[in-house]
Amino acid sequence: MCALLLQKNPHLTPAAVKALLTRTAIDVRDGTANPASDPAGLGIKAGPGIDGATGSGLVDAFSAWQQA
């Protein structure tokens, strides 16, 4: 995805690519991360916004490409 964004707009900086992917991501609010990734062994729960289970969410490639 990063390569496609840079192909469309070669002037994007690494920080701009990260911000673009974060801003256009689809939030994942359900589920948990792998229990091995949680110090308590339970699996970090997903929730609204950026979280330890799903990060910023799912990449929305089309939205990111449109805004590049």
52 phi and psi angles, rounded to 5 deg: -75, -15
pLDDT (tens digit per residue) in 6-58: 999 999 999 999 999 999 999 999 999 999 988 899 999 999 999 999 999 99
Query: Is the CB of residue 60 less than 8 Å from the CB of residue 24?
Result: yes
Q: How many helices (H) and strands (E) does the chain have?
A: 3, 0
What is the residue extent of each domain of the chain? 2-67
Query: Is the CB of residue 56 less than 8 Å from the CB of residue 21?
Result: yes
9 vs 4: CA distance, rounded Å = 9
Query: Is the CB of residue 50 less than 8 Å from the CB of residue 35?
Result: no
Residue 19 has a pLDDT of 97
